[in-house]
Amino acid sequence: MSKGNENEIRVLRLKSPAGAEAAIYKWPLPKYETRDGAFEIIDTIRWVCKDYPDLEMAMEKHILADYDTKNFESMKELCNKYNRAIDSILQLWQGTSKSALLQTQPSTGLLKHIMQQVYNHSVLEPEKLNQYEPFSPEVYGETSFDLISQMLCELKLKDDDVFLDLGSGVGQVVLQVAAASPCKLCLGIEKAPLPGKYSQNMDKEFRKWMRWYGKKYRPYKLETGDFLEEEWKDRIASATVIFVNNYAFGPEVDHQ
């Protein structure tokens, strides 16, 4: 087998602290909009250690102090050390109720990391999301994680609330609210085809990564359609909290 073919099938595996299917990263690692896959792996290990103190104790000292993100063998050894620690923890938890942190909602910091992971693996060509005429009804605008976190602190949503995002884009606000609030239901409606398509990827990746971390979230739906149409009238009326990033819409849509 040629060296090129060997590189094509090289993979790095990260075992789940919740016993879910391992995360697989193909080598060479992908480059995302902000950081490459190596730093995602390192940050993932850091967040798992922070979430599970027992794991941090089981891991070898300075495991995250000696690695080369450009070298496959170095990254493989890093992953192997982490995986051995995961095996030790899962074995320790056998016959017990496992960690009290399993099946809880993630911390704000961990959720921010998860949402970036989900976005990285779902929105493969983010530059295409902005190829709309400015302030047209099809314009795309994203809302920051920190802004939504601040909003949730102010709103103090309850378990009988229904959260609705009109013009939900790729769905990141809906997913964040589902993972960070006790809402009865979180719903997003998006008209534009490309964000709507990416929202399906976001849905799949969000469920996968939340399962991988062993974290829970509230029920949610990401729908495709024009929220100005009659068919959405009852759904909108049933919402107790409606979020609209109206900076992304023109004055005509805002008025409607």
Q: What is the predicted pLDDT for the residue at 115?
A: 95
Strand partners, 187: 164, 221
Q: What is the predicted pLDDT for the residue at 125?
A: 87
d(CA 60, CA 79): 12
d(CA 179, CA 13): 25
Q: Which residue has the higher pLDDT, 29 or 130?
A: 29
SS3 per-residue string spanning 69-137:
CCCHHHHHHHHHHHHHHHHHHHHHHCCCCCCCCCCECCCHHHHHHHHHHHHHHHCCCHHHHHCCCCCCC
Domain ranges of the chain: 3-93, 135-255
Nearest to 201 by CA among 96, 89, 114, 123: 123
Classified by CATH at the fold level, domain 3-93 comes out as 434 Repressor (Amino-terminal Domain) (1.10.260)
Q: What is the predicted pLDDT for the residue at 100?
A: 63
pLDDT in tens, 94-109: 767 666 667 799 999 9
| CATH 3.40.50.150 is the classification of domain 135-255 | yes
pLDDT in tens, 163-196: 999 999 999 999 999 999 999 999 999 999 999 9
d(CA 177, CA 181): 6
pLDDT in tens, 101-156: 677 999 999 999 999 999 999 998 888 887 544 434 444 456 799 999 999 999 99
Which residues lie closer than 8 Å to 65 by C-beta, 6 or more apart? none
The percent of residues above 70 in pLDDT, for the chain, comes to 82
At residue 174, φ and ψ (nearest 5 deg) are -60, -45
pLDDT in tens, 38-53: 999 999 999 998 887 7
Residue 246 has what DSSP assignment?
G
Per the CB < 8 A criterion, the answer to whether 209 and 179 are in contact is no
What's the pTM? 0.87
